[in-house]
Amino acid sequence: MIRDPNHLDPRGKPTALSDSTTIVKYLEKRYPQPQVISVGSAALHYGWSQLVHQNLSTSLAKLVVPLCPGVLSERGKEYIIATRKKWWGPLENMCPDRSKSWDSVKDALDGIAIALDANGESEKGLTVVPGEVTYADFVTIAPLLWASVVIDKAEMNALRRWNNGRWGACFGFSL
């Protein structure tokens, strides 16, 4: 979610937006430099977003969502429990086998690493388009940052070491 105090909505309040796709389109229109979706690359970013969402984000959500209430205010806790229960049922039932869920996350990150390696960069490269910071990079890193807020330190340290330490670079950590 963002609030842009530089552009007011019809009620005279700062523009407020949620949903990453809506936000990036808004930012690209209002603040065209630096551009994170270059002209002619929208399909690449859409496809990459789908890959990350369907594999990593979906797998990671099973581990992360049940823990989110523990880091929220009382109001936030009530909101997330009520809304996520409507989507997925009781949060305590989302991750019946933590080990199996971590295996799914590792498989997803292995697949993403293989795709990133296709660029021919070093095995620790994190950028989808070498030499540029793009929306696809944010899509890759965002779920990992989300997880780092709530996941147990030992589990996050293990994740950081996967794929020869590639994911640790998201957090300034290296082997």
Q: In the chain, which residue ranges form alpha helices assigned H by DSSP?
A: 20-30, 42-52, 58-64, 74-88, 98-117, 135-150, 153-165
| Per-residue pLDDT tens over the stretch 34-52 | 889 988 999 999 999 999 9
Residue 106 and residue 80 in contact, taking contact as beta carbons nearer than 8 Å: no
| Per-residue pLDDT tens over the stretch 80-110 | 999 999 999 999 999 999 999 999 999 999 9
| Per-residue pLDDT tens over the stretch 68-80 | 999 999 999 999 9
First-to-last alpha carbon distance for the chain, in angstroms, is 33
Domain boundaries, the chain: 1-33, 42-171
Classify domain 42-171 by CATH architecture: Up-down Bundle (1.20)
Token pair of 4 as six digits = 């842009």
